[in-house]
């Protein structure tokens, strides 16, 4: 059991780059990477089609392609491409862990205005932070 709505360090900032990094954080399977502009991204490390870890896929721009059937997911967790289908299915989403834009980190909780503006522990630098709580599922539109 873990405290909810609390901050945890997820990774050293230097460890999260343009390679997919699979981690188990607070009993959650998470894949971490950085977008081309350097923004950290955290998604559930599981393709909803056959449960293959997305960290075993590959990055295409800012999106992850699953290594099993080639389903592609964007940073919001929505499926943007399903091979052989003109439109991706609505059920094909993965959980996202949002990042307060002022921090190099991500949050599994609902970020308040105050938490978006402040690091939880300003003296600890070069880390990726994780805030526990309720995460959302992306909805394909």
Res. 127 pLDDT band, cuts 50 70 90? low
Where do we find the tokens 């059937």? 69
Query: How does pLDDT run across 81-94, given as a tens digit for each residue?
Result: 999 999 999 899 99
pLDDT single digits (tens) 40-77: 888 999 999 999 999 999 999 999 999 999 999 999 99
Range of the domain at 35: 7-110+126-132
Q: Please check the confidence at residue 115 and state whether its pLDDT lies above 80.
A: no
Look-up: residue for tokens 């873990």?
2
**Do 62 and 74 touch, CB atoms closer than 8 A?**
yes
Kindly report the average pLDDT of the chain as a whole number: 77
Domain-located, residue 55 = yes
CATH number at residue 90: 2.102.10.10
Per-residue burial over 16-34, b = 16 or more CB atoms within 10 Å of its CB, e = otherwise: beeebbebebeebbbbbbb
Q: If you count them, how many residues does the chain have?
A: 141
In a domain, 138, yes or no: no
Task: Provide the token pair at 93.
Answer: 């989403």
Q: What is the pLDDT of residue 40?
A: 87
- Given strand 105-107, what is the order of strands in its sheet? 7-12, 127-131, 105-107
Mean pLDDT over 95-118 rounds to 50
- Percent of the chain exceeding pLDDT 90 equals 43
* φ, ψ at 47 (rounded to 5°): -75, 130
Indicate whether 137 belongs to any domain.
no
The answer to whether position 115 is within a domain reads no
Q: How many domains does the chain have?
A: 1
In a domain, residue 35? The reply is yes
Nearest to 74 by CA among 57, 106, 96, 90: 96
């Amino acid at each position: 059991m873990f405290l909810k709505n609390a901050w945890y360090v997820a990774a050293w900032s230097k460890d999260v780059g343009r390679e997919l990094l699979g981690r188990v954080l607070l009993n959650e399977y998470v894949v971490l990477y950085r977008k081309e502009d350097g923004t950290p991204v955290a998604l559930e490390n599981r393709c909803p089609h056959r449960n293959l870890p997305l960290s075993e896929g590959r990055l295409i721009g800012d999106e992850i392609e699953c290594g099993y059937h080639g389903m592609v997911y964007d940073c919001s967790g929505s499926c943007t491409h399903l091979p052989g289908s003109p439109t991706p299915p609505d059920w094909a989403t993965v959980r996202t862990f949002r990042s307060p834009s002022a921090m190099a980190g991500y949050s599994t909780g609902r970020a308040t205005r105050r938490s978006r503006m402040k690091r939880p522990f300003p003296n600890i630098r070069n880390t990726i932070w994780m805030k526990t709580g309720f995460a959302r599922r992306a909805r394909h539109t």
